[in-house]
Copies of this chain bind each other. A is one copy, B any other.
């Protein structure tokens, strides 16, 4: 194994899965925890999560939601109150049977999601139409036992945000469901540079207990789909199960209509797989813990001078709001540092050597794109923010082109199988679960969503030839 390989990762083109598994660990995003399927989020990864959190939290608050916190441990009986919900989540539950040195009378489940406990509390808090809409959000950890865990994508415990809202009727709850989806679409596009497709899940892919489930789907660089956020209209299913009723203006009692929507730490995996390459991560500046890394170059007294200049640049870039890191470690070579920061996906690198300094410039290298250029040190704080924005825009454009190039409108089965081998197929489908199952068995592809912006179209099912459902084409693809 070459020295490069030892420090780097398996090339993406060679084995995408190995590339991903090695990358998220070597780039110091995450690591396996001691208990099966658990994950440690390292400081570099957690900072990325904090940046995403802060962008998402601001949008959640700006749209009128309030944060709250509900208990981790839920009486097991709560889960059983909504029939589809318990059926969906039972196989994934972690159960506390003993506490305080005794066996519990009733076991407690570690929340896999909080519709039940929040439903119970909403039923206590809501009595009048004046209490509605109730717009709550929670930042929390949840536990779902995973048979085939995968770092960031499917872990036994993950972090997320779960919004839970209650409304007077279906119309208002559906507006909220679509608002949640729109918030996710914007955050994915504008913060993580992932050009997701918002759409509705087919019945077989709905959240356990939902009437309608919406999703944003991103395309990873191996052509697979990743569900990056979901928004559910729950009808009055949970309102009936937990007796969330309110007095209408005319004084009658009515069930509320509820929604829930969630986005998780899996987004960090999505960023890795949407933008990363053989050299490692490529981070969109908006979620990059370091947007710029400065590497001073030189020896002896020359180095001291360079480091002083680098510190000055660091401080001026930080004052300009640029997240900047100075890598002044003396026991490592510049080449080692270049490789490390490329692996960790830092958007911009500024090398600063004695000759640069004499010329009043730094040597700027972008994480993507060939060649280096010189940047004047005195105006760097004014120039860098727009270079970062260009980089952010470039990533979104590149990912959009990639998705478009790997999405095929198909009208026959051969075209379908060929499309889903390396990307997405836009196909007409009959909407029957058994037909979905056959497609999955043959190709490993599943219906990802019925895109919101799809044009009206109908015809024969690409698989079975029966009349198509949904009135438009469905995205099929292999998924994470």
Contacts and interface: CB of A to CB of B under 8 A. Distances in A.
Interface of A: 31, 33-35, 38-43, 46-47, 49-50, 66-75, 78, 90-101, 107-108, 110, 117, 120-121, 124, 130, 136, 140-141, 143, 145-147, 156-157, 159, 331
B70 A33 contact: yes
Given A98-B94, A101-B91, A121-B31, A157 B42 contact: no
Copies of the chain in the assembly: 2
Contact of A41 (B39, B69, B90, B159): B69
Given A70-B40, A157-B72, A96 B99 contact: no
B40 A75 contact: no
Chain A binding surface, main DSSP class: mixed
7 contacts: A43-B66, A46-B67, A49-B69, A73-B94, A90-B101, A95-B96, A130-B331
**Interface core residue of A40, A74, A121, A143 (most chain B CB under 10 Å):** A40
B38 A157 contact: no
Contacts of A97: 95-98
A46 B61 CA distance: 13
Contacts of A68: 40-43, 46
Nearest to A145: B100
Contact of A69 (B70, B156, B159): B159
Contacts of A121: 31, 33, 40
A156 B94 contact: no
Given A40-B68, A46-B66, A34 B94 contact: no
A96 B159 CA distance: 19
Contacts of A120: 34
A348 B432 CA distance: 61
A166 to B, nearest CB: 14
A136 to B, nearest CB: 7
A69 B45 CA distance: 9
B147 A100 contact: yes
A31 B122 CA distance: 12
B47 A78 contact: no
Contacts of A156: 73, 99
Given A147-B100, A159-B69, A78 B40 contact: no
